[in-house]
Amino acid sequence: MRAMSKKKPKTPNNVIVQNKRARFDYELLDTFEAGVALHGWEVKSLRAGKAQLTDSYVLMKDGEAFLLGSQITPLGTVSTHYVTDPTRTRKLLLHRKELAKILAATQQKGQTCVCTQLYWKGHLIKARISLAQGKQSHDKRDTEKDRDWQRQKRRIMRDAVKQ
């Protein structure tokens, strides 16, 4: 009797956390991939999915980029000799040309830089940051209308297939 072959497990989703609020509040223009300088306990918490990017943004200071407002909740098993600050400022690792482009856009064009996603790339944790232009309230309403229409369209198509 032949042994049954095991099904290959699906590749795990490499996204740790997304900032959906940024897509609603801002029109995302240009995206960059940045490394994130983290402590060991933060990596363990990110493996468990205990992160939040809701109010996070990128601050440029002295020619370097820093991630502010992101929250990584420590696990209960963190040793007591670590000082765990869930909302500490984390350094973003980018190339000089990317840093110059972000700095020019934020200072001259009045754009802002927000973190839209944290994800795994191999064994490293990367941040997807985007230059963004703020939406006005009527733009947000248009986004909501479009999202509702897309949802309704999918519902109509699904019901038509069933019949």
Which pLDDT does position 140 carry in this prediction? 75
Query: How high is the pLDDT of residue 41?
Result: 86
**Which helix H or strand E contains 17, and what residues bound it?**
strand 15-18
Give me the pLDDT at residue 11, please.
44
Among 147, 92, 139, 98, CA closest to 116 = 92
End-to-end CA distance of the chain: 44
Q: What is the residue type of 77?
A: T
What pLDDT, on a 0 to 100 scale, did the predictor assign at position 94?
Answer: 95
Q: Please state the domain extents for the chain.
A: 15-135
pLDDT computed for residue 12 by the predictor: 54
pLDDT at 163: 73
Confidence (pLDDT) at 85: 82
The helix/strand count (H/E) of the chain reads as: 4, 9
Mean pLDDT of each 10-residue bin along the chain, 163 residues long: 52 80 87 93 89 90 92 75 81 94 88 92 93 80 86 90 78
Instruction: Provide CATH code, domain 15-135.
Output: 2.40.280.10
What is the pTM (predicted TM-score) of this model? Answer: 0.73
How far apart are the C-alpha atoms of 132 and 113, rounded to whole Å? 6
